[in-house]
């Protein structure tokens, strides 16, 4: 996935000329300390530079600055700073970004810049590094700004973008996560593109667990069908994910409208049929008719499960007493799933709870997941959320499924 990110545009506008107390005018000499005074050799040229700046004659500013340098070899640090300041203002007028960057670097390194202006000039320089695609310097200098607590909040996204553009996938992960965390502290999500770049970094590293976890994060705020499809696909690529949860995966896919094509509808229906749930298989095939078209396999399966579901519904109520006598809760759980497939969610909830209470289940957490889904189907969100939360650390992929259901429950909340 390649994100399209539209970064913050940083202007090159700088402060006006005349930073600091020194001016190249004789009447001001007595007001400034000796180290901040301009010598008489430089004064005419610098006065000419200031006049040219006021007239926006930027080439004359540069010529006058060069004349000031030639007028005296042993200049003070402040005199060099002042000459550089004249040049800087001229480069701003000319929109000569490479020279603006060079002049700002000299200015910040000189130690002559008034403290009140240092942070502003530093921000401008770092922003220009980004605009000029000097991402290495941008990241290095913005690191310092983070340490100093001066990095603008929306620049964290630029750091994510810079790392991504450099194809430094490890740094992309770190910087995008940092950008996301900074935004979430304010109670709002990061830009969608930040999540996309984090995901792309994980994909480039072929870190599928990280990719699935990243999708879980983006889905909290941007619950799009493509994200859901990828999330449920890559969830299954995590180490230890159990194949027995395939039908449960499809159930969540159907809930979030992430089933994309006829093959997926047919596969879902086939899994339900093999689990002896003809009612669920029938409902799936009917929902996917527009995607399945005239698929002969789907047509044949629909005829089979329609008949099986009709027969099943004639005897399902009579089965309750019989399966209740079983030594374990498994038959009750199977019957609960059947009731659920026919939309009888209250009975499904009751039988699932009885199956859990009876015990003897090979995978009790699976039953707990089905119980939580039954609560969802009945509109009892709080009870469902409590159960899903209890399952988030469950092994074999069930915890990830529970997290997916929690994301679904919180959509639009």
Last residue of a domain, one of 114, 146, 178: 146
Sorting pLDDT into bands at 50, 70 and 90, what band is 2? very low
What pLDDT does 115 receive? 81
- Matching residue, tokens 């629909």: 302
Element (H, E) at 301: helix 296-324
Q: What is the CATH number of the domain that holds 28?
A: 1.25.40
Cα 122 from Cα 143, distance rounded (Å): 12
Sorting pLDDT into bands at 50, 70 and 90, what band is 411? confident
- For 88-103, what is each residue's pLDDT tens digit? 999 999 999 899 999 9
What pLDDT does 32 receive? 64
Per DSSP, 36 falls in state G
**Residue 94 within a domain:** yes
Kindly state the percentage of the chain with pLDDT values over 90.
81
- For 68-125, what is each residue's pLDDT tens digit? 999 999 999 999 999 999 999 999 999 998 999 999 999 999 988 888 888 888 899 9
**Residue 318 within a domain:** yes
What pLDDT does 242 receive? 96
Indicate if 355 and 269 belong to the same structural domain: yes
Indicate if 346 and 266 belong to the same structural domain: yes
391 neighbors 399 (Cβ within 8 angstroms)? yes
Indicate if 19 and 89 belong to the same structural domain: yes
- For 325-358, what is each residue's pLDDT tens digit? 999 999 999 999 999 999 999 999 999 999 999 9
What pLDDT does 315 receive? 93
Q: Return phi, psi of residue 395, to 5°.
A: -80, 180
Indicate if 135 and 162 belong to the same structural domain: no
What pLDDT does 118 receive? 86
| Domain boundaries, position 286 | 240-410
**Residue 2 within a domain:** no
What pLDDT does 37 receive? 83
Cα 63 from Cα 59, distance rounded (Å): 6
Concatenated DSSP letters for 250-261? HHHHHHTT---S
What pLDDT does 49 receive? 93
**Residue 4 within a domain:** no
**Residue 3 within a domain:** no
Indicate if 235 and 248 belong to the same structural domain: no
Concatenated DSSP letters for 207-255? -HHHHHHHHHHHHHH---HHHHHHHHHHHTTSTT--GGGHHHHHHHHHH
Indicate if 303 and 335 belong to the same structural domain: yes
What pLDDT does 117 receive? 85
Last residue of a domain, one of 211, 239, 267: 239
Q: Return phi, psi of residue 153, to 5°.
A: -60, -40
What pLDDT does 17 receive? 29
Indicate if 357 and 246 belong to the same structural domain: yes
* Predicted confidence (pLDDT) at residue 5 exceeds the cutoff of 90: no
Last residue of a domain, one of 146, 179, 197: 146
* Predicted confidence (pLDDT) at residue 12 exceeds the cutoff of 50: no
Per DSSP, 325 falls in state T
* Predicted confidence (pLDDT) at residue 192 exceeds the cutoff of 60: yes
Neighbour tally for 27: CB within 10 Å: 7
Indicate if 247 and 366 belong to the same structural domain: yes
259 neighbors 284 (Cβ within 8 angstroms)? no
Indicate if 257 and 224 belong to the same structural domain: no
**Residue 100 within a domain:** yes
**Residue 387 within a domain:** yes
78 is written with which tokens?
């402040």
Indicate if 174 and 260 belong to the same structural domain: no
Q: What is the CATH number of the domain that holds 313?
A: 1.25.40.10
121 is written with which tokens?
């000039």
Please compute the mean of the pLDDT values over residues 14-35 and round it to a whole number: 43
**How many domains does one find in the chain?**
3
Q: Among 24-28, 44-48, 181-185, which stretch is predicted with the lowest mean pLDDT?
A: 24-28
* Predicted confidence (pLDDT) at residue 28 exceeds the cutoff of 50: no
Which residues, at least 6 apart from 254, have a Cβ–Cβ distance to it below 8 Å? 268, 284, 287
Indicate if 401 and 292 belong to the same structural domain: yes
Indicate if 100 and 139 belong to the same structural domain: yes
């Amino acid at each position: 996935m390649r994100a399209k990110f539209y970064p913050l545009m940083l202007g090159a506008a700088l402060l006006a000329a005349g930073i600091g107390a020194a001016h190249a005018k004789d009447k001001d000499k007595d007001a400034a300390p000796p180290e901040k005074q301009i010598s008489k050799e430089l004064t005419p040229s610098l006065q000419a530079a200031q006049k040219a700046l006021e007239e926006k004659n930027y080439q004359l500013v540069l010529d006058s600055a060069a004349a000031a340098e030639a007028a005296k070899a042993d200049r003070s640090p402040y005199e060099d700073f002042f000459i550089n300041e004249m040049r800087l203002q001229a480069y701003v007028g000319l929109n000569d970004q490479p020279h603006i960057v060079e002049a700002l670097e000299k200015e910040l390194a000189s130690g002559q810049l008034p403290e009140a202006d240092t942070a502003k000039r530093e921000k401008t320089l770092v922003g220009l590094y980004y605009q000029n695609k000097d991402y290495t310097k941008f990241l290095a200098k913005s690191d310092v700004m983070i340490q100093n607590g001066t990095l603008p909040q929306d620049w964290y996204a630029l750091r994510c973008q810079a790392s991504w553009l450099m194809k430094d996938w490890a740094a992309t992960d770190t910087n995008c996560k940092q950008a996301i965390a900074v935004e979430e502290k304010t109670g709002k999500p990061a830009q969608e593109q930040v999540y996309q770049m984090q995901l792309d970094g994980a994909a480039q590293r072929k870190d599928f667990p990280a990719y699935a976890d990243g999708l879980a994060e983006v889905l909290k705020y941007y619950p799009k069908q493509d994200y859901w499809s990828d999330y449920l696909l890559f969830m299954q690529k995590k180490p230890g994910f159990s194949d027995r949860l395939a039908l449960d995966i499809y159930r969540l896919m159907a809930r979030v409208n992430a089933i994309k094509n006829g093959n997926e509808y047919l596969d879902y229906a086939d899994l339900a049929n093999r689990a002896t749930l003809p009612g669920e298989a029938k409902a799936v095939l009917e929902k996917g008719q527009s995607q399945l078209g005239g698929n002969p396999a789907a047509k044949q399966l629909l005829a089979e499960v329609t008949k099986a579901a009709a027969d099943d519904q004639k005897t399902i109520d009579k089965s309750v007493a019989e399966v209740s006598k079983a030594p374990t809760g498994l038959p009750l759980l199977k019957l609960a799933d059947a009731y659920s497939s026919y939309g009888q969610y209250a009975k499904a909830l009751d039988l699932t709870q009885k199956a859990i209470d009876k015990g003897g289940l090979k995978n009790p957490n699976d039953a707990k997941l089905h119980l939580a889904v039954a609560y969802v189907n009945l509109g009892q969100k709080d009870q469902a959320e409590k159960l899903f939360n209890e399952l988030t650390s469950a092994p074999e992929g069930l915890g990830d499924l529970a997290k997916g259901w929690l994301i679904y429950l919180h959509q639009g909340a």
